[in-house]
């Protein structure tokens, strides 16, 4: 998907439309794919976690990551004075 983003950007520029929504959709697709990539690799090697473990891990890490990134963004905005 990383290779697809410049293609989307160039195509949008050539057609004459705003590239931002298309690049955003491409990046969102890449993020979604990378979320499941590690699970697929483990499954290929015979060490796949079960769905319950995958879900518990997500329920523990996602809220903590959201809080940490929100605090970091708030701190950065306070630092630059916005």
pLDDT tens string 19-63: 888 888 888 777 777 777 777 788 888 887 788 887 888 889 889
Residues 74 and 41 in one domain: no
Question: Residue 2: pLDDT band by 50, 70, 90 thresholds?
Answer: low
Indicate the number of domains in the chain: 2
The boundaries of the domain holding residue 39 are 1-48
**Distance separating alpha carbons of residues 33 and 24, to the nearest angstrom:** 14
Residue 26: CB atoms within 10 Å = 19
The pTM assigned to this predicted structure is 0.47
Residues 30 and 53 in one domain: no
Residues 40 and 69 in one domain: no
Residues 44 and 61 in one domain: no
Question: Based on the domain organization, do 37 and 58 belong to the same domain?
Answer: no
């Amino acid at each position: 998907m990383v290779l697809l983003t410049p293609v989307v950007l160039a195509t949008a520029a050539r057609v004459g439309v705003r590239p931002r929504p298309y690049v955003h959709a491409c990046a969102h697709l890449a993020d979604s794919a990378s979320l499941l990539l590690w699970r697929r690799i483990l499954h290929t090697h015979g060490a796949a976690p079960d769905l319950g473990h995958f879900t518990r891990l997500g329920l523990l890490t996602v809220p903590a990551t959201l809080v940490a990134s929100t605090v970091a963004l708030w701190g950065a905005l306070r630092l630059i004075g916005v």
